[in-house]
């Protein structure tokens, strides 16, 4: 990167799953505009994301989302300094829509293109909202497709401490909610209905596989079986009991990760980081252990493009532009 203007403006694009999003972010820490066009209604009738429908919806929704992000920012395309898009992990066809569009905008405006890892973007949502945050830190990244405990030693340097051996935590929320008739996406629905339930009503299993890994399929199956066998138990009690079991496991493993790494800062990222009980319990953990804690705002936890532009700013300063021959990387790893 030859020279850095005072305000380095990046257009971020996010299309890895079922949110079509565009945002303009300045210097990785100031959101100038952020637009999220949710496809939830399109997928809800199928009880989950249908990849082909997601790709087609991204094609329809992306250009208007970018136009709106630019209008709201008051910035013309050629006044930007770079265009970024999520290149993975995610749904191949969905990713391709955002990547192709971002490259086209970059070429048309003569700007560098920056490819971003979606999970790194979830982490950088924290730096976007809390610019004085500093590594080293431990981050719990929990989304629809991923469940990871990661040690961030420095910007761009990660160690995977633990991950799920089966289902991702968001996936477990969504499947359990579907069986309880709570609709899609299940996470927010369970969070909401659990507020009025008794978390001790049903004792669901808390699987603790070795080390810092997670296993959620046993819990998911136990809840599904319980709901079928005990239709009279109030949904709120089942939801609260399931949520309590998930959060117990997540918080316990985070506590161990912090001890193992000797970290003094803990962050959360990903859609499930919007969960009320998880936020409360991670805050309690940090208070008990005297740790600095940062929880992104709920809208910054779920998929958006501002986090993509924020991660892109750091990525560009470290590595410069991404070659334009990069394609979609559905299984891209963080570490």
Cβ distance to ligand KG4 smaller for residue 171 or 213: 171
Least distance to ligand KG4, CB of residue 244, Å: 13
Concatenate the DSSP letters of all residues of 46-67 into one string: TTS--HHHHHHHHHHHHHHHHH
Closest distance between ligand KG4 and the C-beta of residue 174, in Å? Answer: 5
The stretch near ligand KG4 (CB under 6 A) out of 28-36, 53-61, 272-280, 317-325 is: 272-280
Q: Report how many residues bind Zn ion under the rule CB under 5 A.
A: 2
Instruction: Please report where in the chains the tokens 């405006």 appear, as a residue.
Output: 109
The response to whether 327 counts as a known ligand-binding position is: no
Q: Which stretch binds Zn ion (CB under 5 A): 179-187, 274-282, 302-310, 321-329?
A: 302-310
Task: Work out whether 143 is an interface residue with Zn ion (CB under 5 A).
Answer: yes
Q: Does 12 bind ligand KG4 (CB under 6 A)?
A: no
Asked whether 127 and 29 are in contact (CB, 8 A), the reply is yes
Cβ neighbors of 148 (< 8 A, separation 6 or more) are: 119, 140, 141, 142, 160, 162, 163, 164, 334
Cβ count within 10 A of residue 6: 6
Binder among 222, 270, 281, 286 for ligand KG4 (CB under 6 A): 270
If binding is defined by CB under 6 A, does position 213 make contact with ligand KG4?
Answer: no
Residue 185 binding partner per list Zn ion, ligand KG4, none, with a CB distance cut-off of 5 to 8 Å that depends on partner kind: ligand KG4
Smallest distance, ligand KG4 to C-beta of residue 218, A: 18
DSSP string, 52-106: HHHHHHHHHHHHHHHHHHHHHHT--GGG-SEEEEEEESS-HHHHHHHHHHHHHHH
User: Measured between alpha carbons, how far is 1 from 251 in angstroms, rounded to an integer?
Assistant: 40
| Residue 141 marked ligand-binding | yes
Cα–Cα distance measured from residue 285 to residue 70, given in angstroms and rounded to the nearest whole number: 41
Phi-psi region for residue 274, left (φ > 0), alpha (ψ -120 to 50) or beta? alpha
Q: What angle (nearest 5°) sits at the alpha carbon of residue 36, between those of residues 32 and 40?
A: 170
Site for ligand KG4 in 151-210 (CB under 6 A): 170, 173-174, 185-188, 191
Pick from 272, 282, 305, 306 the residue near ligand KG4 by CB under 6 A.
Answer: 272
Residue ranges in 204-305 assigned as alpha helix (H)? 217-229, 235-261, 276-289, 298-301
* Residue 135 contacts ligand KG4 per CB under 6 A: no
Rounded CA separation 199/183 (Å) = 21
Report, in Å, the least distance between residue 264 CB and ligand KG4: 26
Q: In this chain, which stretch among 30-38, 76-84, 138-146, 250-258 interacts with ligand KG4, using CB under 6 A?
A: 138-146
Q: Closest distance between Zn ion and the C-beta of residue 17, in Å? A: 6
Q: Which is nearer to Zn ion, 216 or 272 (CB)?
A: 272
Binding site for Zn ion (CB under 5 A): 143, 303
Binding residues for substrate, by number, are: 141-145, 174, 187, 191, 275
């Amino acid at each position: 990167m030859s020279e850095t203007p005072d305000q380095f403006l990046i257009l971020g694009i996010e299309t890895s799953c079922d949110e079509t999003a565009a945002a303009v972010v300045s210097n990785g820490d100031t959101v100038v505009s952020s637009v999220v066009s949710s496809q939830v209604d399109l997928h809800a009738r199928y009880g989950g994301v249908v990849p082909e429908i997601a790709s087609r919806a991204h094609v329809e929704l992306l250009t208007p989302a970018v136009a709106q992000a630019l209008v709201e920012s008051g910035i013309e395309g050629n006044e930007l300094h770079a265009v970024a898009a999520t290149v993975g992990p995610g749904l191949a066809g969905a990713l391709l829509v955002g990547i192709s569009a971002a490259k086209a905008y970059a070429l048309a405006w003569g700007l560098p293109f920056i490819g971003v890892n979606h999970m790194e973007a979830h982490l950088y949502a924290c730096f976007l909202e809390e610019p004085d945050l500093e590594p080293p830190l431990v981050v719990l990244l929990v989304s629809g497709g991923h469940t990871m405990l990661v040690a961030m030693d420095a910007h761009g340097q990660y160690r995977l401490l633990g991950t799920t051996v089966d289902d991702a935590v968001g996936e477990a929320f969504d499947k359990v909610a579907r069986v309880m008739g709570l609709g899609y996406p299940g996470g927010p629905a369970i969070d909401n209905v659990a507020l009025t339930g008794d978390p001790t009503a049903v004792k669901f299993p808390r699987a603790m596989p070795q080390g810092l890994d997670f296993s959620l399929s046993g819990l998911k199956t136990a809840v599904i079986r319980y709901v079928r066998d005990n239709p009279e138990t109030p949904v709120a009690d089942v939801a609260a009991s399931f949520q309590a079991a998930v959060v117990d496991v997540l918080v316990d493993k985070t506590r161990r990760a912090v001890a193992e790494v000797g970290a003094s800062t803990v962050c959360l990222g990903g859609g499930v980081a919007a969960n009320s009980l998880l936020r409360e319990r991670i805050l309690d953990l940090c208070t008990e252990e005297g740790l600095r804690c940062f929880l992104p705002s709920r809208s910054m936890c779920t998929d958006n493009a501002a986090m993509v532009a924020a991660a892109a700013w750091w990525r560009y300063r470290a590595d410069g532009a991404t070659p334009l021959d990069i394609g979609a990387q559905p299984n891209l790893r963080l570490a």
